[in-house]
Homo-oligomer: A and B are copies of this chain.
Amino acid sequence: MATKIMTMGEILVEIMAQDVGQSFRQPGVLLGPYASGAPAIFIDQVAKMGVPAGVIGCVGEDDFGHLNAQRLAADGVDVSSIHFLPDATTGSAFVTYRHDGNRDFVFNITNSASARLTLAHVTPEALADCAHFHVMGSSLFSASIVEAMKQAVDVVKRQGGSVSFDPNIRKEMLGSSAMRDALRYFLTRADVFLPSGPELTMLVDAETEAQAIDELLDLGVQAVVIKRGAQGASYADRQQRLDVAPLAVTELDPTGAGDCFGGAFVACRFMGMSAGEALAHANAAGAMAVTRRGPMEGTHSLAQLREVLVQAQAGGAQ
């Protein structure tokens, strides 16, 4: 019986510059390696909610690959479909924060083990227990991965499962019409769509939020969940429209917050919570994620998120 939330895609390490304004053109103090990769963070948050979870992906046969597998397994993720490739290196992202709050990166992803994901990894066995599959747009960086992801979505839908889709778009992606087609493919198969702010209108014709929601629901999406970062979040389906105010937290590192939000929302709905309850927990998961340095360090358990919501309530919300 299918009982698991699953995802597929890049599993990386992140290395952070210690200081704001630090350049990667000269030596300095770095912190890491931290477990990372948008789908990996998402699924770690799902597992922390106590929901059965699994991930399909490729890492190198190296310490960085083992770091991720050990971390995910410790948090309850089924890592049996993480493949260790002897002739590839685990992907990496070096990140440094500028004084203006923006980030600079040195990525090794498209030539890393993460890029070796193919149709061959999407086996019936790997997806046998999958009742819900999450597509992370950042993972779709090659034609071969897009093909594999389409196959995973089709298999899960055929076995009666549902699908969520976080576009998680890098701007460069939209330049390619093949990539835009791929993103539209997943949008039209998604039961839950989880865009961040402006991503809401990027894949539709509509230009306003209300029109975009209508267009998405007409496309077959059951629920639209809008992540607004420090401005909170919203939920919309045919019956209702819900908004949740941001929780007041001190931001230390925003990386991974959207992935934690998504993992918490999908897990809460999977457990049978109402859309409003799921939105509140997801909002708390996103808020708590930014209080920790390290992309996957900010995942929290259901009990921790409940405590956050109780405290916020006691403090008069906000």
Q: Which A residues are closer than 8 A to B by beta carbons?
A: 15, 23-34, 60, 62-64, 66-67, 70, 87-90, 92, 94, 104, 106-108, 110-112, 294
Return chain B residues, CB-CB under 8 Å to A110. Answer: 87
Report the separation of the CA atoms of residues A314 and B64 in the bound assembly, to the nearest whole angstrom: 49
Given contacts A88-B111, A108-B89, A111-B111, contact A67 B24 (CB under 8 A): yes
Decide if A27 touches B34 in the complex (CB within 8 Å): yes
27 A-B pairs (CB sep. < 8 Å): A23-B63, A24-B62, A24-B67, A25-B63, A25-B67, A25-B70, A26-B67, A27-B31, A27-B33, A27-B34, A27-B294, A29-B30, A29-B31, A30-B31, A30-B32, A60-B106, A62-B106, A62-B107, A63-B104, A63-B106, A64-B106, A89-B107, A89-B111, A92-B92, A92-B108, A108-B112, A111-B112
Given contacts A33-B94, A89-B108, 19 further A-B contacts (CB under 8 A): A15-B15, A24-B62, A24-B63, A26-B67, A27-B31, A27-B33, A27-B294, A28-B31, A29-B29, A29-B30, A29-B31, A30-B32, A63-B106, A64-B106, A87-B110, A88-B111, A89-B107, A92-B108, A111-B111
Nearest chain B CB to A172 CB, angstrom units: 11
Report the separation of the CA atoms of residues A29 and B67 in the bound assembly, to the nearest whole angstrom: 16
Return chain B residues, CB-CB under 8 Å to A60. Answer: 106
Report the separation of the CA atoms of residues A34 and B70 in the bound assembly, to the nearest whole angstrom: 29
Nearest chain B CB to A292 CB, angstrom units: 12
With most chain B CB atoms within 10 A of its CB, the pick from A60, A62, A92, A108 is A108
Question: Assembly of this chain: how many copies?
Answer: 2
Report the separation of the CA atoms of residues A94 and B29 in the bound assembly, to the nearest whole angstrom: 14
Nearest chain B CB to A34 CB, angstrom units: 5
Return chain B residues, CB-CB under 8 Å to A92. Answer: 92, 108
Report the separation of the CA atoms of residues A33 and B17 in the bound assembly, to the nearest whole angstrom: 10
Return chain B residues, CB-CB under 8 Å to A108. Answer: 89, 92, 108, 112
- A107's nearest neighbour on chain B, judged by CB, is B89
Nearest chain B CB to A94 CB, angstrom units: 8
Return chain B residues, CB-CB under 8 Å to A67. Answer: 24-26
Report the separation of the CA atoms of residues A139 and B66 in the bound assembly, to the nearest whole angstrom: 27
- A113's nearest neighbour on chain B, judged by CB, is B111
Partner of A24, one of B24, B33, B106, B111: B33
Q: Which 10 A-B pairs have the closest CB atoms?
A: A24-B63, A30-B30, A89-B108, A25-B67, A62-B106, A111-B111, A25-B63, A27-B34, A63-B106, A27-B32
